[in-house]
Amino acid sequence: LDRVKVKGKHEPVTIYEPVGLSDSVPGELAKEVLASDTALNHYFAGDLEKAYSAFQILQDAAPERRLFGLYLERIAALQSQGIGPDWDGVFEHTSK
């Protein structure tokens, strides 16, 4: 789901969402997981345009999933600020 640094920590933590054993995940959910992986790979690679497009498709298909909207907001902010050459995709929380 994300890679974050919590306030006061220096090492990022990877956040996962368990969805089930691979052979028991329903087809639609499996497609969403693959599409999410693609969107996240674009995001972590710093390809914000492709990431935004991929998350927009996911958001349109599942508007109840707040995560996709969160990434759309984050990417929009990053596009206006720009990302530096040391971009690693880790989100740094500044408050608890």
Domain total for the chain? 1
Q: Amino acid identity, residue 70?
A: L
The domain of 58 spans: 2-92
Q: Span 72-82, mean pLDDT?
A: 95
- For residue 3, the cross-strand partners are 14
Q: How does DSSP classify residue 16?
A: -
Q: Amino acid identity, residue 89?
A: G
Q: Is the pLDDT of residue 96 over 70?
A: no
pLDDT band at 95 (very low <50, low <70, confident <90, very high): low
Residue given tokens 């919590």 in the structure block: 6
Tokens standing for 86? Answer: 């040391």
Q: Is 3 in a helix, a strand, or coil?
A: strand
Tokens standing for 96? Answer: 């608890």
What is the value of pTM for the model shown?
0.87
